[in-house]
Structure 1
């Protein structure tokens, strides 16, 4: 089971940023990893364990934001389609190591 936590929180004031940071740190303490900005995931061995983490998230959710929690099976997770379209082309990997010598 894979647990996704997606959230949008205001970050207009210092107080808002503190709430955001505290919630994000709590997710990391609970063993979540960042999947994308404001999307964190955690692998759980069973539905029961996933539900326990849902409860923990609910208890630590700050006011003034929107949080969504989704449970998917590992089979569904493996079928994620990833499309990476960058405006700038990613750097090409150097296939052969080269050396440049500058003589002054």
Structure 2
């Protein structure tokens, strides 16, 4: 069966974990590493995404990771199709946009006119 943008799924993990104590911060870091180890990429703080070939595989991943949510934490897993994910639009505020643009002296110069 050939893959198409309606069968391919994106799993979005959105979580809120407490970080007041040292053990809570350790659990937060452990959960984040668990997501990264399972192929997720950070989209924003506490928002991670992963592409899965089928809904069945996405559901299996969620079933595996969901119970590993740390105590006193909350995690929601959303499944959306590749087609829907392709409609995502990201916006950045003016100060963030300026930080992303390298200053002239920070750019690597490969060829210079003599």
Report the TM range for the smaller structure's normalisation: 0.7 to 0.9
Structure 1: runs of 5+ lacking an equivalent: 100-104
Give the 3-state SS of the residue equivalent to 1:25 in structure 2: helix
Change (3 A) 1:89 1:75: closer
Change (3 A) 1:93 1:74: farther
Given the two structures, how large is their TM-score scaled by the length of structure 1? 0.83
Structure 2: runs of 5+ lacking an equivalent: 1-8
Q: Rg: which structure is higher?
A: 1
Given the two structures, how large is their TM-score scaled by the length of structure 2? 0.77
Once residues 26 and 77 of structure 1 are traced to their aligned partners in structure 2, the CA distance between those partners, rounded to angstroms, is: 23
Partner residue, 1:30:
38
Change (3 A) 1:56 1:93: same
Higher helix share: 2
Q: Indicate the larger mover: 57-66 or 43-52.
A: 57-66
What's the CA shift string for 1:62-97, capped at 9, x where partnerless?
A: 111111110000000000121111336513675xx6
Partner residue, 1:17:
25
Count of paired positions: 98
